[in-house]
Amino acid sequence: MATWRQLSNRYSRTRWANELSYGDAAGYLPLRRSIADYLRFSQRIACEPAQVIIFASTQQALDLCARLLLDPGDGVLMEDPGYPGAARIFAAAGAKVVSVPVDSQGLCTEPPLPVQPDMRLAYVTAAHQTPLGGSLPLERRLALLSWAEACGATVIEDDYDGEFRFHGQPMPALKSLDAGQRVIYMGSFSKMLFPSLRLAYMVVPGWLAEPCRAAISLTMRHAPLHQQAVLSEFIAGGHMARHVHRMRLLYGERAQHFQQECETRFDGLLSPIPVSTGLDATVLLPAHASDAQVAAALHRGGIETRPLSFYSVQHKAPPGLVMGFSAFDETAMRQGMDGIEKVLEGLALKP
């Protein structure tokens, strides 16, 4: 935060006076360069700054994709359970959402994905599946790309927190395998830095760059320059890589601590799915439990979770809860776990 503050103050003193007017609708060019350089190194994605488009949020990027790529009735392939914020955007565009089941490795590509001529889009969280947590294996990634090629569809790879991978070799991004120019890679700074910043980006295939710029120019103009400029220097100065490295260690410790607490405390009532990536963990409840009821009881006890049923459309997820662990140090974690224990005791969840 001190570094960010310094960069922000320096921008105000030096370049701000020359950057008061309108900017490029696709985003501040130095930021787009910084992101392209960063992704080359961190995700092995080879892209030009012209392919990097800046948004206020992933949500806005998804909305623009839906408006540019979908007509009412077009098919969109979605993970189920999956991210409801994306499903709602596609539904609002009048698209037909085709649900594909998910297992512990992410989107299931067996039985084969439905090749239909009206399929226009797929949305996947390949690095860290929302909400079950899997990382899509290489053969499934290739199957998804073949499906896109066969349908003439585009794939959105929403990498909302893939930077925070705690162990194992990270899989190359789907975008890095995108020989056919069919993948849109999305990233956000809400989880890498902080949500009130409101900056996110897409890396688009070359053919989509100009349509994106035109649509943003019409529907928003562009994101604020000051924040874009500070972020650009934060990345270019190496602060982002250092921050992510530090946070990866910290969040990794917290993930482990979360898992230990779950295992030692709840007598099998909460079974955490091992956390390899990100800021949230998924814990499974006994098979007969209603996760919506448990989440409501926890909410009344001051504890915010999301039931897995919230993420399901057609394919029922097992009862479970998504819980954030990354914001809590040891003391706060212990207090939270005490609170959860108290609520669960009152629920008589044991069979």
Chain residues in the site for its own copies (CB under 8 A): 1, 5, 8-9, 12-13, 16-17, 19-23, 56-57, 59-60, 63, 85, 88-89, 92, 190, 194-199, 218-227
Burial 98-117 (b: 16+ CB within 10 A, else e): bbbebeebbbbbeeebeeee
CB 62 within 8 A of CB 212: no
- Quote the DSSP letter at residue 122: E
- Rg for the chain, CA atoms, rounded: 21
Q: What are phi and psi of 333, to 5 degrees?
A: -65, -45
Closest contact distance (angstroms) between CB of 138 and its own copies is 33
Contacts of 14 (CB under 8 A, 6+ apart): none
Nearer to its own copies, 171 or 322 (CB): 322
| Best CA proximity match to 320, nearest among 289, 284, 349 | 284
The span from the CA of 319 to the CA of 208, in Å, is 40
- Shortest distance (Å) from residue 190 CB to its own copies: 8
Q: How far is residue 11's CA from residue 7's CA, in Å, rounded to a whole number? A: 6
Compute the least distance from the CB of residue 12 to its own copies, in Å: 5
Quick one: 3 or 256, whose CB is closer to its own copies? 3
Q: Which helix (H) or strand (E) holds 55?
A: strand 52-55
* Nearest approach, Cβ of residue 175 and its own copies (Å): 24
* Burial environment of residue 207 by CB neighbours within 10 A (0 to 12, 13 to 18, 19 or more): exposed
Q: What is the DSSP letter of 26?
A: T
Taking the complex as a whole, how short is the minimal distance between the CB of residue 85 and its own copies, in angstroms?
8
Which C-beta is closer to its own copies: that of 195 or that of 206?
195
Shortest Cβ 311–its own copies spacing (Å): 17
* Residue 304 CB-density burial (10 A; 0-12 exposed, 13-18 middle, 19+ buried): exposed
Q: What is the DSSP letter of 14?
A: T
Of 23 and 170, nearer to its own copies (C-beta) is 23
Nearer to its own copies, 9 or 335 (CB): 9
CB of residue 351 to its own copies, shortest distance in Å: 38
Q: Which is nearer to its own copies, 218 or 287 (CB)?
A: 218
Residue 97 vs 262, nearer CB to its own copies = 97
User: Which residues partner with 277 through β-bridges?
Assistant: 165
**At its nearest, how many Å lie between its own copies and the CB of residue 4?**
8
Which lies closer to its own copies via its Cβ, residue 30 or residue 170?
30
What is residue 177's DSSP assignment? G
